[in-house]
Amino acid sequence: MSSRNGRILCASIACVGATIAHGTEPAVPVYNAVYQVEYKGKTMGSSEFKVTQDEAQGSYEFTTTTTAKGILAKFAAPNPTIERSRFTVVAGKIRPVEYSYKDGSRKGDNDRQIQFDWDRHIAIVTDKDGRREVALEDVSLDPGSLHVALMQDLILNGKPGQYRIADGDQAKAYNFVDNGEAQTDTGLGKLATHSYVQRREGSSRTTYLWVVPQLDYLPARIETRKNDEVQTSLILMSVEGLEKH
């Protein structure tokens, strides 16, 4: 599996409950969800999405752990693919602190780390190409906290916000198109969902999301497509920490 597909499998969401330490910021839902991972229609493993809160530090952590099986696990990703994003909430907005990505391969050629320096408004990216600095805007996020921010904006405003991802040589914009309501099959049965199409500036790939309003907009299904062909799919199988409302 390509490194981009590996990152896509780890791409995800967040939020419930408890207010941040100061009590003035909107709460981020915390939960644990498990997804079945498919590649071109074939089951290739599972992925766990988790959001936790560190009340002492006034921060949250979003983690995805994707475990491959079969021939994929033997040759491409013998280790779990792990994406981790630590963030806070500032003035009602998700603000990343640090991000890491482990690609699950033996060599880790596509591993990446990002440190966010908000005093200088730069992100320090470290990967196989070395170390570099990327300018930050107030809407800048990392690949993990993007999904947290989307979920939070849908909870608070009923629509996606504006986002830029600081994980390359320059921050790239991510846009969302509303695709309307749908009924989506999951491991929890058929769920009422709302669909969005996510597009990244300068990319031929698109991500289709079906989120569940009754579960704080947790995704029920995530598909990545290239030239309209479905590449990877994540299907919700179970969730803890979120109750239907």
**Residue pLDDT, tens place only, 72-121:** 666 677 889 999 999 999 988 999 999 999 999 888 889 999 999 999 99
In this structure, is residue 17 part of a structural domain? Answer: yes
Domain residue limits at 82: 3-174
> For residues 49-82, b (16+ Cβ closer than 10 Å) or e, as one string?
bbbbbeeeeebbbbbbbbbbeeebbeebbeebbb
Assigned domain for 121 exists: yes
- Establish if 16 belongs to a structural domain: yes
Look over the chain and give the mean of its residue pLDDT values, rounded to a whole number.
87
Q: Is residue 182 part of a domain?
A: no
Residue 203 located in a structural domain: no
Domain count, the chain: 1
Instruction: Give the pLDDT confidence of 157-202 residue by residue, as tens digits.
Output: 999 998 999 877 667 889 999 999 999 999 999 999 999 999 988 7
Structural domain includes residue 100: yes
Higher pLDDT, residue 52 or 227: 52
pLDDT of 143 strictly over 60: yes
How is residue 195 written in tokens?
């669909």
- Does residue 83 sit within a domain? yes
- How confident is the model over 24-41, as pLDDT tens digits? 466 799 999 999 999 989
* The pLDDT value given to residue 75: 67
The neighbour count for residue 245, using CB atoms within 10 Å, is 7
Stated as kind and residue range, the H or E segment containing 153 is helix 143-157
Provide the pLDDT confidence category of residue 9 given band limits of 50, 70 and 90.
Answer: very low
Look at the chain and count its residues. 245
- More reliable by pLDDT, 147 or 49: 49
pTM of the model: 0.85
Looking at the domain assignment, is residue 156 inside a domain? yes
